[in-house]
């Protein structure tokens, strides 16, 4: 049984039936059986399906946004744009997959030699709760347009959101079982990975869970893409546009109540502007409204689960006890729901918990740096390597610095974000492989070399 709980009230929404292992195996079989006819379709035919799915998503945008607000606390004003982003992703790959996967002629001793990209079969996507629509479609859209079929094991916290995705495919008239929703308890995930009909695995989640997925997939010699946690640095130098930097740093940290892998989590500020910038951050954070995610006036909703909230408070408490100053928030609230106050921690050092661990919530940790060299050194002093932001006036110099930051993506004078047009992913304990862009669609295909004498 899968149980959905409303994090705003702390009360159960509903129980949903979960598949047992036999039923799970049958559903995986359905996706595998659908592969032969789906891969035979042209890119244009697949694109027609993905565009129809995008249309259905837009038609259901308010209802799906409400589901996300109810199941995991995403403010309704963020939920609608997330559904739109998922629809855009489907359309992007509908428009571009054929070009991305065009055969490539390579010079050799053959009369002609080339690489062609062919689908693998049925794939398994294991998805988290924090962006139920977007994270699903950045897996589904490229994989389906490449000709694979997709099994989707969504997080047990968001069963209705997962079903809404399946319903969109059905309503769009998509061929049966090209996308199979797999409502199972997490304990069955290993069996799903090991199923011989699953050809590859896409996983988004924590580094700890990703290590387990990677180990199982590796033992079966199956390719995997892992998008894991992050502790993204945001470097702010004295010559930056400080107003814009403060606005974007706060936005990046607070989207989805801070429950984002690519949120700005470690703010590194040049010493000469440190007091001024701290106050700019404090003023902006203090102005945010916590409340019911179903209301348009809410900026920050609840944490998705109470165990996650308790862990976040542990991280904040340990950091304060280690010497950081708490300028805002930091206290576990009483009352219903899983709220955590917007929290600002100053004078955080690299050995403190808020810098060593990923903080998944509305907690901003800030530290002074003497200069750019120290900023880069601290930025790289982490086991993660997902994203990073750099704010400074000299764009050319900033691009050189970006080359020295150990991360999968670096935003200069802007927000770290995911975009269907650009590859996204991490290094170190933030994972491996890439999603999105032309790179993402090539993760789950066979790059077949053909040599003609």
Q: For residue 275, what are the contacts with CB-CB under 8 A and spacing of at least 6?
A: none
Q: For residue 4, what are the contacts with CB-CB under 8 A and spacing of at least 6?
A: 12, 13, 14, 15, 16, 70, 71, 157, 158, 159, 160
Active site residue 261: yes
Residue written as token pair 């709980």: 5
Joined tokens for residue 187: 């304990």
Annotated catalytic residue: which of 89, 234, 261, 353?
261
Alpha carbons 312 and 330: distance in angstroms, whole number: 10
CB 125 within 8 A of CB 153: yes
Active site residue 383: no
**Could you write out the three-class secondary structure of 349-394?**
CCCCHHHHCCCCCCEEEEEEECCHHHHHHHHHCCCCCCEEEEECCC
**Distance from CA of residue 328 to its chain's centroid?**
27
Residue written as token pair 């997962």: 162
CB 333 within 8 A of CB 351: no
* Residue 103 neighbours by CB distance under 10 Å: 11
Q: How far is CA 434 from CA 60, 94, 204, 418, in A?
A: 29, 19, 11, 11
Percent of residues in the chain assigned helix, strand, coil, to nearest 5: 45, 20, 35
DSSP 132-175: TTHHHHHHHHHHHHTT-EEEEE--TT-HHHHHHHHHHHHHTTPP
Nearest residue to 153 (alpha-carbon basis) of 172, 130, 134, 180: 180
**Distance from CA of residue 183 to its chain's centroid?**
20
Annotated catalytic residue: which of 71, 82, 227, 270?
227
Helix/strand number for the chain, H first, E second: 15, 18
Q: For residue 22, what are the contacts with CB-CB under 8 A and spacing of at least 6?
A: none
Joined tokens for residue 111: 């009369």
Alpha carbons 211 and 129: distance in angstroms, whole number: 18
Alpha carbons 324 and 316: distance in angstroms, whole number: 9
Q: For residue 81, what are the contacts with CB-CB under 8 A and spacing of at least 6?
A: none
Residues marked active site are found at 227, 261
């Amino acid at each position: 049984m899968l149980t959905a709980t409303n994090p705003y009230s702390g009360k159960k929404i509903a129980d949903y039936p979960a598949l047992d292992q036999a039923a799970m195996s049958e559903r995986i079989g359905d996706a595998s059986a659908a592969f032969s006819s789906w891969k035979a379709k042209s890119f244009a035919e697949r694109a027609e399906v993905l565009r129809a799915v995008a249309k259905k998503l837009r038609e259901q945008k308010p209802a799906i946004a409400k589901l996300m607000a109810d199941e995991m606390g995403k403010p309704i004003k963020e939920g609608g744009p997330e559904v739109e982003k998922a629809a855009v992703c489907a359309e992007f790959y509908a428009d571009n997959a054929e070009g991305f996967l065009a055969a490539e002629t390579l010079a050799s001793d053959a009369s002609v030699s080339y690489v062609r990209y062919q689908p693998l079969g049925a794939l398994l996507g294991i998805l988290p709760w924090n962006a139920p629509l977007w994270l699903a479609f950045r897996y589904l859209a490229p994989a389906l347009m490449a000709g694979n079929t997709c099994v989707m094991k969504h997080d047990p916290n968001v069963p209705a959101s997962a079903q809404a995705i399946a319903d969109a495919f059905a309503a769009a008239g998509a061929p049966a079982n090209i996308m199979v929703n797999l409502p199972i308890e997490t304990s069955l995930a290993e069996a799903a990975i090991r199923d011989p009909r699953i050809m590859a695995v896409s996983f988004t989640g924590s580094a700890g869970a990703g290590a387990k997925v990677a180990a199982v997939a590796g033992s079966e010699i199956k390719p995997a893409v892992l998008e894991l946690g992050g502790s993204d640095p945001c470097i702010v130098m004295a010559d930056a546009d400080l107003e814009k930097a403060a606005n974007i740093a706060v936005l990046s940290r607070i989207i989805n109540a801070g429950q984002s892998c690519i949120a700005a989590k470690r703010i590194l500020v040049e010493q000469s502007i440190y007091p001024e910038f701290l106050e700019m951050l404090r003023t902006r954070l203090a102005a945010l409204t916590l409340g019911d995610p179903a209301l348009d006036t809410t900026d920050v909703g609840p944490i998705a689960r109470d165990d996650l909230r308790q862990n976040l408070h542990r991280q904040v408490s340990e950091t304060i006890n280690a010497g950081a100053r708490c300028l805002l928030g930091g206290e576990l609230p009483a009352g219903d729901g899983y709220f955590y106050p917007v929290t600002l921690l100053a004078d955080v050092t690299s050995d403190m918990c808020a810098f060593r661990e990923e903080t998944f919530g509305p907690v901003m940790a800030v530290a002074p740096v003497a200069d750019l060299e120290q900023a880069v050194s601290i930025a790289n002093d982490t086991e993660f390597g997902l994203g990073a932001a750099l704010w400074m006036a000299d764009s050319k110099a900033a691009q050189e610095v970006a080359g020295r930051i150990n991360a999968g993506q670096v935003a200069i004078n802007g927000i770290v974000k995911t975009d269907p047009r650009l590859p996204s992913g991490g290094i170190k304990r933030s994972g491996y492989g890439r999603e999105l862009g032309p790179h993402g669609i090539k993760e789950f295909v066979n790059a077949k070399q053909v040599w003609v004498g």
